[in-house]
Amino acid sequence: MLRFIDLFAGIGGFRMGMEQAGHRCAGYVEIDKYARRSYEAVYDTEGEWSAADIRCVSAGELRAIGRIDCFCGGFPCQTFSIAGRRSGFEDTRGTLFFEIARLAQSIRPPLLFLENVKGLLSHGGGGV
C-alpha cells in the first residue's frame, strides 16, 4: 500500500483511482473552495492533513505527516495544453508546476504520478 498526497486535488479523480487500487491518502491540496467542499463531501477526510494553496506548503509540513510514497496531481494544465493558448510559464498557472518540483526535491517521494498534458514537454521548444 502506498501513502500518497493528492496535489491540485480537484474533486478527487486521482484519489478515486489510487484508493480503488488499495492505496491510502495522507493529505490533499486544493485551492478552489467549491472543489474542496465537493472533495470533502465525497471522501472521508477527517484527520487528514490538508492545505488550500500549494505555494504556502512547506516541506516540513509534509515531513510531519510521515511516510509519503507518491505525489499525485492534476496541476493546472491549460497553459501548456495544445487545446489552450500555450502561454506556458508566462501564465501564473504554469508556474505551479514548479511547486510540485520544489516539494518533490525536498521530500523525494519514490513516485510522482502527474497528469499527462499533451504539449507540456514540447512547450517552449522542449526546454521544460
The CA–CA distances, whole Å, from 37 to 17, 34, 54 equal 19, 5, 17
Residue 77 annotated as catalytic: yes
Burial class (CB in 10 A: 0-12, 13-18, 19+), 32: middle
Locate 58 and state its grid cell: 512547506
Residue in 10, 6, 8, 7 with CA at minimum distance from that of residue 35: 10
Do 29 and 54 touch, CB atoms closer than 8 A? Answer: yes
Task: Look up cell 494544465; give the residue.
Answer: 77
Report the first-to-last Cα separation within the chain, whole angstroms: 32
Residues with a catalytic annotation lie at: 77
